[in-house]
C-alpha cells in the first residue's frame, strides 16, 4: 500500500493541463462493445479505474492498440461471451463500479449480459434499480443470485418504449441509452441525466450511426438501428480535476493557470468557487487563479449563511463538494456543505478536524465549515484516503498545512487522478510517494 509524505506550506506556480474526464472515459470505453469496427479514443487518462476497464475489455476479446500515451484504438469484432461465465470476469467486474455499463452494449449487440455486484468507492449506497428498471422496460428480463451476488440478464428481444426514470442517474442513463440504440422501434427517456459526459456519449454514438435526439436535455428520443460503425472520439477535460486545482490554488496561496478547460462545458463550477471568494481570470479556454492571501465566502442576499449543495446537472457536481469543504477551512466566513446523494462522503472531515479545521458535522449529509481566514493554519498529521475525492481533499489540506503529513492508501487517489504527485511537484509541491 502506497503513501504520500507531504511537506506543507509550498506555494505552487505554473501551468497544468487537466487529464481527460474519468467519468466520460468509463462510459465511452464500454460503448466500444457496440460496434465490430475500429473506435479510436483520445485523451484517455492513465488512472487505475480506466486501466482496469481497458484490461477487462481486453479479456473479453476486444483488440486494443495503444497509439500514444493518451490514445487507444479498440476493435470489438470478436467478443468471447463465454468469458462472462468465468470467475475471473466476475471478480474483475465486481472490483470496478464502472463495469456495470458494459451491460447496455452487451444487451444491445448480443442479447444477453451477466455481471457481479459492482464495487467502487465506499461513499454510500448506490443502487442499481434505475439501470435494471430501464432494461426491463425495454423488454429485458433478469434474475439476481443473492448467494453469488450475480445479475443474469436476457435482452434478446429489446423493443423501444417510453420510460420515466426514477432518478436522473448518469450511469443509468448511459447504460439505458446504449441498450436502446439497437432496440427495435423508438425509445423515449424522460428525466434522463444530461451531464456533459452523457452529451459526449450521445454525440459519439450518433457519429457511429445511432439516431439520438434531445441531446443536452432531460428528454432523449432514440430510433433503433440495426448496426453501428466505428468512429474517433476525444474526451473532455476532467471537470473534477479542474475544480480540484482551483481549490488547491486558493488553499496554498498559489498562482496557477489551468489550460484547455473548455469553460463552456464546466457549468456552474467556476461560479461556485467564485462564491467562495476565489478570484478566477478566464482567458479563452484557460483559467488563471492568482495567488490570494485571503478569500471570503459570500452570504445569501439576506445575509444568511451560504449553502452549497450537490444537484443533478446543471447543478453542482457531488464530486467537488469535498474540495469545496476543505477550501472553506482557510476562507473567511462560514458555509454549510450539503451532500445530498451519498451518506458517507463527509466522513473524512474528522481528519480535517484533527488538523485544526473548525467543522461541525451536523449529520451524515451536512457539515458546517467555519473559515478562520488563515489565522490558525492546519497542521500536518497522518491520515488515510477513504475514497478518490476525499483523498484529494486531504492532499490539498496537507499541502496547505504546517509541517509534514502522511496520507496512506493513495491507491484510492490513483483511481481518479493520473500522476498527481508528479504533476503537482512540477509546480513546486513537495509530495513524496512511499511504496
- Over residues 383-392, the pLDDT tens digits come to 999 989 999 9
Give the residue among 341, 354, 416, 391 at the shortest CA–CA distance from 124.
341
Per this entry, what is the length of the chain?
A: 435
pLDDT of 94 reads: 83
Indicate which residue of 49, 82, 88, 121 is catalytic. 121
pLDDT of 149 reads: 76
Lowest mean pLDDT among 73-87, 109-123, 266-280, 407-421: 109-123
pTM confidence score: 0.94
Residue 90 has which C-alpha cell? 466476475
Q: What is the mean pLDDT of residues 144-167?
A: 90
Q: What is the mean pLDDT of residues 29-53?
A: 97
pLDDT of 75 reads: 98
Lowest mean pLDDT among 116-125, 207-216, 253-262, 266-275: 116-125
pLDDT of 128 reads: 77
327 has which bridge partners?
A: none
Query: Given a cut of 50, is residue 125 above it in pLDDT?
Result: no
| C-alpha span between 185 and 417 (Å, rounded) | 40
Q: What are phi and psi of 32, to 5 degrees?
A: -65, -20
365 vs 322, 380, 385, CA distance in Å?
Answer: 12, 26, 19
Residue with cell 451560504: 306
| C-alpha span between 21 and 170 (Å, rounded) | 14
pLDDT of 120 reads: 44
Q: What is the mean pLDDT of residues 136-161?
A: 89
Residue with cell 476479446: 61
- Over residues 359-392, the pLDDT tens digits come to 999 999 999 999 999 999 999 999 999 989 999 9
Answer yes or no: 121 catalytic: yes
pLDDT of 121 reads: 42
Higher pLDDT: 14 or 99? It is 14
Q: What are phi and psi of 190, to 5 degrees?
A: -105, 150
| C-alpha span between 56 and 91 (Å, rounded) | 10
- Say if residues 153 and 114 touch (Cβ distance below 8 Å): yes
Q: What is the mean pLDDT of residues 161-166?
A: 97
- Say if residues 139 and 94 touch (Cβ distance below 8 Å): no
pLDDT of 118 reads: 61
Q: What is the mean pLDDT of residues 91-117?
A: 90
| C-alpha span between 20 and 84 (Å, rounded) | 29
| C-alpha span between 364 and 384 (Å, rounded) | 19
Number of neighbours of residue 333 by Cβ within 10 angstroms: 19
Summary mean pLDDT of the chain: 94
pLDDT of 136 reads: 95
Higher pLDDT: 42 or 147? It is 42
- Say if residues 68 and 140 touch (Cβ distance below 8 Å): no
- Over residues 312-353, the pLDDT tens digits come to 999 999 999 999 999 999 999 999 999 998 777 898 999 999
Q: Where are the alpha helices (DSSP H) in 332-416?
A: 349-354, 388-400, 411-414
| C-alpha span between 66 and 41 (Å, rounded) | 10
Q: Where are the alpha helices (DSSP H) in 167-238?
A: 170-180, 196-207
- Over residues 265-279, the pLDDT tens digits come to 999 999 999 999 999
Amino acid at each position: 500500500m502506497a503513501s504520500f509524505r507531504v511537506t506543507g506550506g509550498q506555494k505552487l506556480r505554473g501551468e497544468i493541463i487537466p487529464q481527460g474526464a474519468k467519468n466520460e472515459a468509463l462510459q465511452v470505453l464500454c460503448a466500444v462493445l457496440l460496434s465490430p469496427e475500429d473506435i479510436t479514443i483520445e485523451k484517455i487518462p492513465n488512472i487505475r479505474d480506466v486501466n482496469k476497464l481497458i484490461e477487462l475489455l481486453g479479456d473479453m476479446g476486444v483488440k486494443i492498440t495503444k497509439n500514444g500515451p493518451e490514445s487507444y484504438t479498440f476493435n470489438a469484432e470478436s467478443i468471447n461471451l463465454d468469458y462472462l461465465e468465468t470467475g475471473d470476469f466476475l471478480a474483475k467486474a465486481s472490483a470496478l463500479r464502472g463495469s456495470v455499463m458494459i451491460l447496455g452494449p452487451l444487451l444491445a449487440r448480443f442479447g444477453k449480459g451477466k455481471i457481479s455486484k459492482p464495487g467502487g468507492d465506499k461513499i454510500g449506497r448506490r443502487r442499481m434499480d434505475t439501470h435494471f428498471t430501464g432494461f426491463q422496460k425495454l423488454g429485458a428480463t433478469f434474475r439476481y443470485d443473492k448467494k453469488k451476488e450475480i445479475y443474469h440478464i436476457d435482452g434478446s428481444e429489446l423493443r423501444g418504449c417510453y420510460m420515466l426514470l426514477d432518478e436522473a442517474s448518469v450511469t443509468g442513463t448511459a447504460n439505458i441509452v446504449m441498450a436502446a440504440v439497437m432496440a427495435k422501434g423508438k425509445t423515449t427517456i424522460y428525466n434522463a441525466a444530461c451531464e456533459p459526459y452523457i452529451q459526449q456519449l450521445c454525440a459519439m454514438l450518433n457519429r457511429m450511426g445511432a439516431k439520438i435526439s434531445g441531446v443536452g436535455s432531460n428528454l432523449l428520443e432514440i430510433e433503433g438501428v440495426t448496426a453501428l460503425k466505428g468512429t474517433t472520439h476525444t474526451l473532455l477535460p476532467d471537470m473534477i480535476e479542474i475544480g480540484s486545482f482551483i481549490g488547491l490554488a486558493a488553499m496554498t496561496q498559489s498562482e496557477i493557470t489551468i489550460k484547455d478547460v473548455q469553460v463552456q462545458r464546466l457549468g456552474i463550477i467556476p461560479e461556485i468557487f467564485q462564491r467562495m471568494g476565489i478570484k478566477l481570470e478566464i482567458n479563452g479556454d484557460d483559467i488563471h487563479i492568482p495567488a490570494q492571501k485571503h478569500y471570503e465566502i459570500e452570504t445569501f442576499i439576506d445575509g444568511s449563511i451560504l449553502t452549497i449543495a450537490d444537484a443533478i446537472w446543471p447543478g453542482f457536481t457531488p464530486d467537488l463538494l469535498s474540495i469545496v469543504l476543505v477550501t472553506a477551512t482557510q476562507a473567511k466566513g462560514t458555509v454549510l456543505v450539503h451532500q445530498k446523494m451519498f451518506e458517507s462522503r463527509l466522513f473524512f472531515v474528522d481528519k480535517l478536524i484533527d488538523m485544526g479545521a473548525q467543522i461541525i458535522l451536523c449529520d451524515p449529509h451536512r457539515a458546517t465549515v467555519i473559515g478562520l481566514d488563515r489565522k490558525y493554519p492546519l497542521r500536518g498529521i497522518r491520515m488515510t484516503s477513504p475514497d478518490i475525492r476525499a483523498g484529494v481533499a486531504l492532499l490539498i489540506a496537507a499541502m496547505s498545512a504546517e509541517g509534514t503529513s502522511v496520507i496512506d492508501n493513495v491507491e484510492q487517489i490513483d483511481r481518479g487522478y493520473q500522476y498527481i504527485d508528479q504533476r503537482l511537484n512540477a509546480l513546486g509541491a513537495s509530495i513524496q510517494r512511499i511504496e
